[in-house]
Amino acid sequence: MEAAMGLMRRMPPRHSETTLSALLSLLPGHASDLLSQVDLPLQVLSDVDSGKKFILCEYNRDADSYRSPWSNKYHPPLEDAPYPSSKLRQMEIEANDIFTVYCEQYYEGGISSVYMWEDDNEGLVACFLVKKDGSKTGQGRRGYLEEGTWDAIHVIEVGPEEEITRYCLTSTVMLSLTTDDVSSGTFSLSGSIRRQMNMNLPVADGHLSNMGKMIEEMEAKLRNSLDQVYFGKTREMVCNLRPPNEVVQMRLPTS
Amino acid sequence: MAEEETELSDQQKKGIAKWFLINAPAGEIQYVAKDLKSVLKDDDVYNEAAAVAFPIYNKSHLIYLKMPGGYGDVLVTSYGELQDNEYLDPKTAQVVIVDHVKQVCKRVRPATDEELPSPYIEEYRYALEAELLKYAAEAYPKGSCAVYCTNGKDVEGPGSDFEFVVVISAARNSPHNFCNGSWRAIWNIEFRDDIQVLELKGKCQVGAHYFEEGNVQLDAKRECSDSTMFQGPDDTATAVVHLIRRHENEYMASLEGSYFDLSDNTFKELRRKLPVTRTLFPWHNTMQFNLKREIAEELRIGELHDIKRA
């Protein structure tokens, strides 16, 4: 299993789906481990009622059907399927509305979904998902990207409600971007990172507010990490391979 | 989805194994091989797959190996391939026999006259390579390069066309820092005797992989072309390397530029650093938000029934 995860970390992130299906066919006995530890780019369906898109994941799936956070219906329809309690569904609706606004602010578009359910320890689990297509044919506003996707999955385990409640967040971001022009050729970066964050927060502030702030903080950290550390390291490597010529004119930053 | 998984055939396993090996990032095939063997649990299938996959990987990554006897490095590339495991090193006029899977040189022998170009061609090739070596020593401190004649190696004198390929390969492996990378450049040079012009076509490919608690890969490539006059060996060598140096410098600058833009502009296409308001999201305003929604809901309830199912 460790070897399988090692392979996941080395294969090009663009091929993560192929890598995972290759591993699943070689290690059928480890299927549930692999599926829970490996994240793949998010898939999307359209809600039958409103046509609004929603994101598919393990947390809104039952058998081969997926529950929409907009209509609360399973696609395709399913008998005897699990639903959140009506109280939780209220919170889920509110979370979806607010998260949509948050995504509009940060992602200038994109698709978002939130799913909630009660867990065995009298707490709850919430999953916040975002999918953004930033390519110039998608929702990229500035037309820089030939291809660009950002997929974020945030799973928060909320401990049993006490004055100070425990929140455990596990976040994964997968992204890829490609620019392409005649003079500089094709430039492609892609990758994924996963981090965890635990906080004890006053329940009086409200679950949504607490979870929202954690996610916002986490996304900022991940974005920064990808930009400065990860992309930065690849840039450093390129400079090591071929030390830049000082005499060369640097392209001035476009404003 | 609890069906019985049918056992994969050896053929299928081999295909999967080859895929993993061929797609290993620069400098990482041995690590991938180790993990693959654990997952595959079938040494025979692995060995068969490796025998096919390693040569493909080695040649596409333009790996360079130390030659026995302290002669320096030899590039493993299709341009210098004489037979499956034999590669010409034009710099020292020797041929190495290589073990692809172990990625080492087993033996070295002098090249035969048939394997080498004619003196006329060699004059051009040698001059170009000498100039190239000077450039590469500066630009690619740990790299390797060579010039191969890929067409017309037996041309005796002026009056015929011939073709060279310049290969530059630089790799940096820092596995303890979780970072590996490679720079590969291939320049096709067509010597057109009829119009007395050299036509150059260059392709640069850069890759980098950083994988400390994550997995991020850079994959960049660019093609370009240029031309220069067909002159004597020394002048041609100077002119060609001058062009190569200029184009590669430009490419390096454009890569730097892409990275520069990334932080400020390109990344924004995916996610902004902050909302347009330049403040964090007002999560505490959910109460206000909730109120607005409740009012809107009450207005709608008259028209719609059962929007929420239990």
Q: How far is A36 from chain B (nearest CA, A)?
A: 15
Is A9–B215 a contact, with Cβ atoms under 8 angstroms apart? yes
Q: How far is B49 from chain A (nearest CA, A)?
A: 15
Listed by number, the residues of chain B in 171-190 with a beta carbon closer than 8 Å to a beta carbon of chain A are 171-172, 179-183
pLDDT, average across residues B75-79: 96
Residue A29: phi, psi to the nearest 5? -65, -20
Is the model's pLDDT at A80 over the cut of 60? yes
pLDDT, average across residues B20-27: 95
Residue B3: Cβ-neighbour burial (10 angstroms; 0-12, 13-18, 19+):
exposed
Specify the DSSP element, H or E, that contains B246.
helix B233-264
Is A26–B16 a contact, with Cβ atoms under 8 angstroms apart? yes
Q: How far is B114 from chain A (nearest CA, A)?
A: 36
Is the model's pLDDT at B303 over the cut of 50? no
pLDDT, average across residues A11-28: 92
Q: Which residues contact B154 (CB under 8 A, 6 or more apart)?
A: B117, B118, B121
Is B219 an interface residue toward A (CB < 8 Å)?
yes
According to the model, what pLDDT value does residue A254 have? 40
According to the model, what pLDDT value does residue A33 have? 87
According to the model, what pLDDT value does residue A31 have? 87
pLDDT, average across residues A202-231: 92
From the DSSP assignment, how many helices (H) and strands (E) are in chain B?
A: 6, 11
Is A25–B259 a contact, with Cβ atoms under 8 angstroms apart? no
According to the model, what pLDDT value does residue B138 have? 92
Is A185–B183 a contact, with Cβ atoms under 8 angstroms apart? no
Q: How far is A205 from chain B (nearest CA, A)?
A: 8
According to the model, what pLDDT value does residue B132 have? 96
Highest mean pLDDT, choosing among B8-12, B101-105, B279-283: B101-105
Nearest to B170 among A89, A208, A241 (CB): A241
Residue of chain A with shortest Cα separation from B270: A134
Percent of chain B with pLDDT over 70: 90
According to the model, what pLDDT value does residue A248 have? 37
According to the model, what pLDDT value does residue B301 have? 52
CA-based nearest residue to A171, from A210, A229, A126: A126
Q: How confident is the model at residue B174 (pLDDT cuts 50, 70, 90)?
A: very high
According to the model, what pLDDT value does residue B84 have? 86
CA-based nearest residue to B233, from B165, B157, B135, B169: B157
Q: How confident is the model at residue B288 (pLDDT cuts 50, 70, 90)?
A: low
For residue range B186-218, what is the model confidence (pLDDT) as tens digits?
999 999 999 999 999 999 999 999 999 889 999
Is B34 an interface residue toward A (CB < 8 Å)?
yes
Residue A90 φ/ψ region, left for φ over 0, alpha for ψ in the -120 to 50 degree band, beta for the rest: alpha
Do residues A128 and A104 make contact, with C-beta atoms less than 8 angstroms apart? Answer: no
Nearest to B214 among A73, A98, A192 (CB): A192
Is A142–B216 a contact, with Cβ atoms under 8 angstroms apart? no
Listed by number, the residues of chain B in 58-117 with a beta carbon closer than 8 Å to a beta carbon of chain A are none
According to the model, what pLDDT value does residue A252 have? 38
Is A241–B140 a contact, with Cβ atoms under 8 angstroms apart? yes
Nearest to B257 among A3, A86, A251 (CB): A251
Is the model's pLDDT at B307 over the cut of 70? no
Percent of chain B with pLDDT over 90: 78
Is B140–A242 a contact, with Cβ atoms under 8 angstroms apart? yes
Residue of chain B with shortest Cα separation from A247: B249
According to the model, what pLDDT value does residue B310 have? 38
CA-based nearest residue to B20, from B47, B53, B48, B55: B53
Residue B156 φ/ψ region, left for φ over 0, alpha for ψ in the -120 to 50 degree band, beta for the rest: alpha
Q: How far is A164 from chain B (nearest CA, A)?
A: 17
Residue A89: phi, psi to the nearest 5? -60, -35
For residue range A3-15, what is the model confidence (pLDDT) as tens digits?
999 999 999 998 9
Is the model's pLDDT at B3 over the cut of 50? no
B304 token code pair: 């719609």
pLDDT, average across residues A192-220: 94
What residues of A are in contact with residue B170 (Cβ under 8 Å)? 241-242
B99 token code pair: 């073990």
Is B308–A10 a contact, with Cβ atoms under 8 angstroms apart? no
According to the model, what pLDDT value does residue A142 have? 82
Residue B76: phi, psi to the nearest 5? -100, 105
Residue of chain A with shortest Cα separation from B309: A72
Q: Is-above-0.95 flag for pTM?
A: no
CA-based nearest residue to B189, from B145, B246, B236: B236
Nearest to A184 among B222, B265, B275 (CB): B222
pLDDT, average across residues A128-141: 89
For residue range B30-71, what is the model confidence (pLDDT) as tens digits?
999 999 999 999 999 999 999 999 999 999 999 999 999 888
Is B40–A212 a contact, with Cβ atoms under 8 angstroms apart? no
Q: How confident is the model at residue B286 (pLDDT cuts 50, 70, 90)?
A: low
Is A209–B218 a contact, with Cβ atoms under 8 angstroms apart? no
Nearest to B281 among A105, A187, A229 (CB): A105
Is the model's pLDDT at A243 over the cut of 90? no
Is A10–B209 a contact, with Cβ atoms under 8 angstroms apart? yes
Is the model's pLDDT at A30 over the cut of 60? yes
Query: What does chain A look like in DSSP terms, one character per residue?
Result: -HHHHHHHHHS-GGGHHHHHHHHHHH-GGGHHHHHHH---PPEEEE-TTT--EEEE-GGGEETTEEE-TTT--EES--TT-----HHHHHHHHHHHHHHHHHHHHHHSS-EEEEEEEE-TTS-EEEEEEEEEE-STTTT-SS---SEEEEEEEEEEEEPSP-SEEEEEEEEEEEEEEEEEETTTEEEEEEEEEEEEEEEEEEGGG-HHHHHHHHHHHHHHHHHHIIIIIIIHHHHHHHHHHSPPPTTSPPPPPP-
According to the model, what pLDDT value does residue A253 have? 43
Tell me the pLDDT of chain B averaged across its residues.
Answer: 89
A134 compared with B263, residue with greater pLDDT? A134
What residues of B are in contact with residue A190 (Cβ under 8 Å)? 216-217, 219
Is A248–B253 a contact, with Cβ atoms under 8 angstroms apart? yes
Q: How confident is the model at residue A50 (pLDDT cuts 50, 70, 90)?
A: very high
Residue of chain B with shortest Cα separation from A69: B308
Helix (H, G, I), strand (E, B) or coil at B64: strand
According to the model, what pLDDT value does residue A141 have? 79
DSSP state at residue B212: T
Is B210–A13 a contact, with Cβ atoms under 8 angstroms apart? no
pLDDT, average across residues A133-148: 86
Give the best residue of B41, B184, B270 to mutate against chain A (max A CB count within 10 A). B270
Nearest to A223 among B182, B260, B273 (CB): B273
Residue of chain B with shortest Cα separation from A175: B270
What residues of A are in contact with residue B264 (Cβ under 8 Å)? 253
Tell me the pLDDT of chain A averaged across its residues.
Answer: 90
Which residue has 């050729």 as its token pair?
Answer: A185
